[in-house]
Structure 1
Amino acid sequence: MRILFIYPNLNHELIGYGDLGAIAEPLALEYLAASCVDLATEMELLDLRLHPNELNNRLTIFNPDVIAITGYSMHVMRIQEIAQLSRERLPSSKVVVGGHHATLLAEDFKIPEIDFIVVGEGTAPFAKLIKLFSDESENSSVPGVWKNTHSGWEFGGDQSELQLDQVAPPLRSLCIDDRSHYFIDWMKPIALMRTTVGCPYRCTFCSLWKMMDGYYYKREVDAVITELKEIKEPYVFLVDDEPFVNSKRMDVLADSIRESGIQKEYFSYCRIDTLLRNKSTLKKWVDIGLRRVFLGIEGITEDEIENYNKGLSIAQIEDGLKAARELGLKVFASFIVNPNYSKADFTRLSRFIERNRIDYPSFTILTPLPGTDDFIQQYDQITAWQSSHRPDWSKWDLQHLVVPSNLSPREFEKEYKNLRRNFRGAYEIHQRKAIAARDDLTLTI
């Protein structure tokens, strides 16, 4: 059985940070491949961000029996296009879709060209699907999978609880020829790694914690070390939603990395309050190679922080930024720009960033994401629609207004772009390093 895994590209470039600013390995697809390595005779991975014009050729030459596609909300319409093209070229192949959006809003993938939709953590149900295909018993149902039948879509029921340490490590060799091209800014080549799954916090704008029904799963330290030893890249991005919340575990992991003689440079997510509580743990990680932290600041007023349910204060945020500098960490800080912003609010945000000497500020527009209460409450206010009366998911890249704004759309866009002009010095350095990292790439988006 031949399986083709596809990671979609976007049909447009994100403002300042997208397919051209960072291309990270398709970790989810590598996990899927590892789950069925004993069931497939051949597997290939097509990363359309690197090879945007290769879809037709790969379908024709490889002639897969199964086509597996993943993606986020911003990829929905592109995934639909890929599924339709796959069906035209290979009508007997099975098309399977999964990922973040498929889990939270499977309805968008219930189209004739798609055969199965995997929801939730996909490794176990995908492996069961492949086993059924191999046994030619695909009429059986699989927990966690929607199946397209002659009588309509049928759901196989909920999955059993995730057993994280039973999940095989990602099959990184699947994209061996592409690995040197994966980067985040100047960190190249970079590998992604997860040591935990889920998040114990409940930020209103985020749906990631709902993906795992609010649970927080931790991998055994020995398993993490074993996988880390196999990673060839000098840079590693820890993609855990919140890895440092359990300081004792991260202390043990840092000690184990040191004892194992592993030499890497790390980039990781971290909450401000976690950093403040666990400065000694962060210091230990700095000593073994932690260089950058991604801090989700999001809001700069007490009202914003409260509305986002961040559980922080502005004083904590400023103390945390100072603590990060004292630890020698470079800060990649994210800020949410609310559609209700006035010109004064944009100015206030700029002054906050300047005052706190933030290395790399990152901006997203507050967007009602599937799975959040905002999505339910603001659905009727959405301004970006397809002719099919579904949201125009191509605008769900966190860089477009999709609900009404306080300023006119043109004024809002102007102010939003001006945020980068306000930090031209930092951004010029940032962009020069990012461009240098991708000099050997020629992309058509």
Structure 2
Amino acid sequence: MLAPTMRVLLVKPKASLAIVRGLERFQRLEPLELGYLAAALPPHHQVRVLDLRLTRRPRRAFLAALATFRPDLVGFTGYTHERAAVKALAREVRRSLPRTLVVVGGHHATVAPADYNVPEIDVVVRGEGCGPFRSVVAAWEGGELPLGIPNALLTGEHWDAAAAAAWPRFPDPATIPTPRRDLWDPRRYTCVWVSENPAPWQELFPPVAMVRTSYGCRMQCSFCVVPFLCGGEHRPRPVEAVADEIAALPQRHVYFADDENFIDETFAAALADALAARGVRKRYFAWTRATTVLRSPELLRRWAEIGLDGAFLGFEFSSDEELRAVRKGGSVATNERAHDQLRRVGVACHAAFMVRAEYTVEQFERLRRYLAAMPPAQCSFTVCTPSPGTPDWHAMEPHIWVDDPYRLYDCMHPLTPTAVPLREFGRRFAALLATAAGKNPLRAERRPVRPWELGRVLLAEARFEAAFRRLHRDYPRELWG
């Protein structure tokens, strides 16, 4: 007897914050998490992915999908700043299709599950969702409530507060399926691409695939949730599975979604060899640490040979005192040596910095001067904000100055009182962006670019900086200063 087919709709919400939407002008990556969930389900189910980031009218698009597809189960993913949108969409499911099961997962569900214990949501999946989601769907397919499933919490009368308080642990990476990418148009997902020696007329916004080769990190940064989820371990997927996945991609550019790509030298070297043996010729962007770069220069050189164009390097701060405060395990000098080492092997550096809510005008200016003196790099900035659920978050909670910190939790809005007025904070942040824009290797090397892509970059920069200058409007008026 054939198993009954279920209609499953997987949804990624559209962000409401202008700063997040401004960032998407530079980088809109595949809904990889939904591809994993789809791949975890038996093939007899009908699965659709609805990425509301791609539409101007997300509510209208969502209601149309409910009316035409009439799903038996709707699954949402979402970051913390998207949780209000997820709840609003879940209410629409309740009104339109009251018998449809509503399941929520993603980052916010993992770090703050109790926030989703509301009537419009049935199940909260935490951590790596493939296994729990597959079990939830199987239970619902059999006409049963999904009770007793690890890392899947039923809301309402079945809510397990003790389970919600414990951190979920990630499973063996070998059990993770290859994500389904046939459920979206790969041309819709692009990323502004960085390289140390950009070719004349190089494509700036190529279609980009996301690939996860591992998860976890061995570091214990006090603001980060990863050590709690992975127990301080770095856990790679099987080399052959990753190499096969990359080799099959239609996109030429690959953006790795790891916490750290090269911390396990044996795995990283084996993956490079496996890709080379398959004759894979793609361009890569990876995540690493300064200490890893300095410890393994030949590994980075090997990856540069097979296509590594850029690497994310967490500079975080421009002073050793601030680095010690977050237990980063490095120094400004270490970051600078790693930056130089990357450039020497032909890999562009994406230097990621953080600012603090308590930054004074002098501290903003010190960071701006540091940026101006840096060698070429692509730079990004966040506000140092610990992840919900971490000890740093709990220490910060008494000082939070907004009624709903989750609404503004995008790591670009300060959640505690700023040392300078909010208007000034936003202007100073925008000034950092303007200074950093001139450090991009494309500008520094004065390479010619396609005129229409140049226009796209300039517009994206202008909109992003403007969003920060208007950052204060996301807060109650009495906080504007």
TM-score (norm 2): 0.85
Indicate yes or no: 2:408 matched with 1:401: no
Query: Which whole-Å CA distance do the structure 2 matches of 1:418 and 1:4 have between them?
Result: 42
Query: Which whole-Å CA distance do the structure 1 matches of 2:131 and 2:56 have between them?
Result: 29
- Answer whether contact 2:170 2:229 (CA < 8 A) is retained: no
Q: Percent identity?
A: 30
Post-superposition shift, 1:415? 1.2
Indicate yes or no: 2:6 matched with 1:12: no
Q: Which runs of 5+ in 1 are unaligned?
A: 386-390, 440-444
Name the structure 1 match of 2:295.
Answer: 277
Name the structure 2 match of 1:312.
Answer: 330
Q: 150, 169, 174: which is aligned to 1:165?
A: 174
Indicate yes or no: 2:43 matched with 1:38: yes
SS at match of 1:6: strand
SS at match of 1:64: coil
Query: Which whole-Å CA distance do the structure 2 matches of 1:428 and 1:310 have between them?
Result: 27
Name the structure 1 match of 2:72.
Answer: 65
SS at match of 1:74: helix
Q: 2, 8, 16: which is aligned to 1:3?
A: 8
Indicate yes or no: 2:159 matched with 1:153: yes
Query: Which whole-Å CA distance do the structure 2 matches of 1:424 and 1:437 have between them?
Result: 10
Query: Which whole-Å CA distance do the structure 1 matches of 2:169 and 2:440 have between them?
Result: 46
Post-superposition shift, 1:38? 3.0
Name the structure 1 match of 2:30.
Answer: 25
91-100 vs 183-192, which deviates more? 183-192
- Answer whether contact 2:378 2:441 (CA < 8 A) is retained: no
248-257 vs 64-73, which deviates more? 248-257
Query: Which whole-Å CA distance do the structure 2 matches of 1:251 and 1:428 have between them?
Result: 27
Name the structure 1 match of 2:183.
Answer: 174
Post-superposition shift, 1:230? 1.5
Structure 1 residues 419 and 16: alpha-carbon distance in aligned structure 2, compared to 1, 3 A threshold = farther
Post-superposition shift, 1:436? 4.3
Post-superposition shift, 1:29? 0.9
- Answer whether contact 1:102 1:118 (CA < 8 A) is retained: yes
Alignment deviations for residues 220-247 of structure 1 (CA, whole Å, 9 cap, x no partner): 1111111112211110011110110111
Query: Which whole-Å CA distance do the structure 2 matches of 1:332 and 1:271 have between them?
Result: 11
- Answer whether contact 1:332 1:358 (CA < 8 A) is retained: no
Query: Which whole-Å CA distance do the structure 2 matches of 1:192 and 1:232 have between them?
Result: 12
Structure 1 residues 285 and 161: alpha-carbon distance in aligned structure 2, compared to 1, 3 A threshold = closer
Alignment deviations for residues 328-365 of structure 1 (CA, whole Å, 9 cap, x no partner): 11111110001111111111112222222242111111
Structure 1 residues 322 and 433: alpha-carbon distance in aligned structure 2, compared to 1, 3 A threshold = farther
Q: 29, 45, 51: which is aligned to 1:47?
A: 51
Q: 212, 235, 246: which is aligned to 2:264?
A: 246
Post-superposition shift, 1:277? 0.7
Query: Which whole-Å CA distance do the structure 1 matches of 2:18 and 2:366 have between them?
Result: 28
Structure 1 residues 169 and 16: alpha-carbon distance in aligned structure 2, compared to 1, 3 A threshold = closer
Residue type at the aligned position of 2:306? I
Alignment of 1:322-341 (within 5 A): 322-341=340-359
Alignment of 1:358-373 (within 5 A): 358-373=376-391
Query: Which whole-Å CA distance do the structure 1 matches of 2:284 and 2:94 have between them?
Result: 41
Name the structure 1 match of 2:393.
Answer: 375
Alignment of 1:349-360 (within 5 A): 349-360=367-378
Structure 1 residues 90 and 356: alpha-carbon distance in aligned structure 2, compared to 1, 3 A threshold = same
Q: 250, 274, 285: which is aligned to 1:232?
A: 250
Name the structure 1 match of 2:478.
Answer: none
SS at match of 2:53: coil
Post-superposition shift, 1:263? 1.0
Post-superposition shift, 1:39? 5.3
* Number of residue-to-residue matches in the alignment: 431
Q: Which runs of 5+ in 2 are unaligned?
A: 1-5, 193-203, 444-448, 460-466, 468-481
